[in-house]
Amino acid sequence: MKIRHLGTLAVSEIGFGAMSFASYYGETPDRSEAIRVIRGAYDLGVTFFDTAEAYGPWTNEVLVGEALAPIRDRVVVATKFGWNIDPDTGEQRPGLNSRPDHVKRVADAMLKRLGTDRIDILYQHRVDPDVQIEEVAGAVKDLVAAGKVGHFGLSEASAATIRRAHAVQPVTAVQSEYSLWTRDPEPEVLPLCEELGIGFVPWSPLGAGFLTGTIDSDTALPATDFRAGSPRFAKDARESNQGVVDLLRHVAARKNSTPAQIALAWLLARKPFIVPIFGTRRLDRIEENLGAANVSLSAKDLNAIETAMSRIEVKGARLPEAILQLSYR
């Protein structure tokens, strides 16, 4: 696995997101299997792992901490704050909370759950409209000075917010949804990251599984799967969006690869500071996805993909409206 840089931080060019081991995709595997898969990702070359206090809440950080404990000094661990989670009970309350005192308190709790002495990247999960971003950046700056946090990150933030935060505490990475069928960061956020030397971390690079070609309009999604409530995963949207998968399959056939590998290779080819993170519960899927690093897409390939995508209208919002409203603020 080759190395890329998020700011000055060296990580594997593809990372692993552990959200799949929370309850967002229905029933989760047992703990021992989850740990086996996470450690297996490291054995296959992944050194960049992502979690969040909201995944559970809290249980995902504990799982990731336990899984990575034997190799802690050889990996980069990122987690996220910002939801209004009661720090004493774990109760998920309405809205967001990035007050500086809260940020510092939850960071200490994160360290305990992860079983570590530092958080390599601490992201604000969503921008809190009730707290000035300069105050949030200042709180993280204090955590960096205390040695508890290595680097500052933002998730789903607007270009203007990123610039303001960066002026107080350098932003190492910005994490937002980005894939062949979700292009929101391209007009403003990606150019700003390039200008300021900030790494960009696409989450859901495989379109929550749709871009792998393993989901179609007939796939049953249980009510416990978050995709069951996502506009882009409504039955008619999946049927309409099949053209994106057909395109990926066409390119994959020419490259002797899979649709998932093409989707990830497309991201890797966009910019050298892009480090996608995918999630899965299966070790064989990890091995498949990491194979994207060996897929070369030429300028001709990329132009052909762009031309084909210009003829496809992606149907359905990427997230439910209530969550979508929290992005790009």
Catalytic residue, from 24, 25, 42, 55: name it. Answer: 55
Residue 251 lies in a domain: no
pLDDT value at residue 24 = 80
pLDDT value at residue 47 = 98
Amino acid at 294: N
pLDDT value at residue 70 = 98
- pLDDT tens digits, 67-91: 999 999 999 999 999 999 998 899 9
Q: What is the DSSP string of 135-204?
A: HHHHHHHHHHHTTSEEEEEEES--HHHHHHHHHHS-EEEEEEE-BTTB-TTTTTHHHHHHHHT-EEEEES
Residue 266 lies in a domain: yes
pLDDT value at residue 108 = 98
Instruction: Give percent above pLDDT 70 in the chain.
Output: 100
> In the predicted model, what is the mean pLDDT of the chain?
97
Q: Is the pLDDT of residue 27 over 80?
A: no
* Beta-bridge partners for 12: 3
Q: Is the pLDDT of residue 40 over 80?
A: yes
- Domains identified in the chain, total number: 1
Greatest CA separation for the chain? 55
pLDDT value at residue 158 = 98
The two three-digit tokens of residue 151, written as one number: 């680097």
Q: Is the pLDDT of residue 26 over 80?
A: no
Q: How confident is the model at residue 151 (pLDDT cuts 50, 70, 90)?
A: very high
φ and ψ of 132, to 5 deg: -60, 135
Q: Is the pLDDT of residue 185 over 80?
A: yes
- pLDDT tens digits, 85-100: 998 899 999 999 999 9
Can you give the residue range of the structural domain that contains 81?
Answer: 3-209+260-296
Residue 284, CB-side half-sphere exposure with 13 Å CA sphere: 0
pLDDT value at residue 316 = 98
Q: Is the pLDDT of residue 34 over 80?
A: yes
Does pTM surpass 0.75?
Answer: yes
Preceding peptide of 170 cis, ω within 30°: no
Look at the block and give the residue holding tokens 């690869």: 257
Residue 215 lies in a domain: no
CATH number, domain containing residue 153 = 3.20.20.100
Q: Is the pLDDT of residue 44 over 80?
A: yes
pLDDT value at residue 87 = 87
pLDDT value at residue 16 = 98
Q: What is the DSSP string of 72-103?
A: GGGSEEEEEE-EEE-TTT--EEEEE---HHHH
Residue 271 lies in a domain: yes
Residue 329 lies in a domain: no
Other Cβ atoms within 10 Å of 146 Cβ, number: 12
The predicted model gives 130-149 an average pLDDT of: 98
Distance in angstroms (rounded) separating the CA atoms of residues 119 and 64: 12
Q: Are 263 and 290 in contact (CB under 8 A)?
A: no
Q: Are 159 and 329 in contact (CB under 8 A)?
A: no
178 is catalytic: no
The two three-digit tokens of residue 305, written as one number: 């993909």
Q: Is the pLDDT of residue 302 over 80?
A: yes
Residue 44 lies in a domain: yes
Residue 253 lies in a domain: no
- pLDDT tens digits, 234-254: 999 999 999 999 999 999 999
Q: Is the pLDDT of residue 269 over 90?
A: yes
Q: Are 48 and 153 in contact (CB under 8 A)?
A: no
pLDDT value at residue 139 = 98
Residue 216 lies in a domain: no
Distance in angstroms (rounded) separating the CA atoms of residues 286 and 278: 9
pLDDT value at residue 191 = 98
